[in-house]
Amino acid sequence: MAEILQKDGTWVFDGDALRLTPGRDKNVSLLRKALGELVVPLGALAGISFEQGKKSGRVRLRLRDGADPLLHATGGRLTEPNDPYQLIVESDRYGVAEYFVDEVRGALLLDRVPAGPVDTYLLPGPSVPLSASAGDGTASFDGEQIRLEWNWKTEDAKSAAGTRVLALTDIAAVEWHPAVGLENGYLRFTVRHAPTKAPPKYDPNAVELWGFRKDPLMALVAAAVQARLTHPAAAPTDADPSRPDLPRQLTAATTEDGHDALLRRLRELGELHRTGVLTDEEFTMAKQAVLKHM
């Protein structure tokens, strides 16, 4: 086992997964504290690096494309302080950091973990229910419904209809953009069969963000929703639309040739169940569907 303890956080590697715990230091971002501890399976990693500086360095994890719904939902737009896959290391701990990096790299080589993209999420995303208030509203998600509530700063044209409730099954996509310079950001939900080009300021399915401290928390809502939508790399299917996040992941295996593909899908389902993406009932049904095709 390898471990790094710093004010910025504690990272532990046990050979199978990395456990990333944010520190309690005042400089640790609100988003990382709200996100809490992350467990990253070795199979979700594409690489790890250590960068030295005069006063401090950084250990950085690089995840495989498509492995984490948070990274997908934020599209690489998280700033360094909010990135949970970076750890600031003080100069007197450089030796420990180098040892940690070598241990992880050795495990990646030993397990022959590919660095390429994946077609299913290997991390479960933020736990639900959760709620975040920023900009002109509050976004809440309980795993099945998104609730958008407005405040006194919301434009009348958007707040006139009152609280907005969106079913997960009606969501085609979710976007999170931080405010940059003088341009405001937003958290937007794209509703099936109801596209809109309205600016976030007037879009009843969007929360406008103004670049304040709590804005990044909206990324957690986006990630929690994204984790339950169809994976962007999943094979298309005409399966039951009532669970858009589940059938495409499961039926992708049935379109692949060979017994090995089905065995690989069973392992992926086991990982989704272990990390909480699939419930016990969903896992049992999915496993039976794959076994039937075997």
Pairwise CA distance, residues 286 & 283, whole Å: 5
40 confidence band (pLDDT: 50, 70, 90): very high
Output DSSP code: residue 6.
Answer: E
The answer to whether 248 touches 231, Cβ cutoff 8 Å, is yes
Is pLDDT of 236 > 90? no
pLDDT of the residue at 182: 86
Q: What confidence tens digit (pLDDT) does each residue in 241-274 have?
A: 444 444 444 444 344 445 566 666 777 777 776 7
Q: Is the dihedral of CA 110, 16, 267, 62 positive or negative?
A: negative
C-alpha angle 58/61/62, rounded to 5°? 130
Strands (E), the chain: 2-6, 9-13, 17-22, 38-41, 45-51, 56-63, 86-90, 130-134, 137-141, 145-150, 164-167, 171-177, 185-191, 206-209
Per 3-state DSSP, the chain is made up of helix, strand and coil in percentages (nearest 5) of: 35, 25, 40
Pairwise CA distance, residues 209 & 207, whole Å: 6
Pairwise CA distance, residues 196 & 107, whole Å: 47
168 confidence band (pLDDT: 50, 70, 90): very high
Between residues 261 and 54, the one the model is more confident about: 54
CB contact set of 80 (below 8 Å; sequence gap of 6+): 86
**What mean pLDDT is predicted for residues 131-143?**
96
CB hemisphere CA count around 120 (13 angstroms): 24
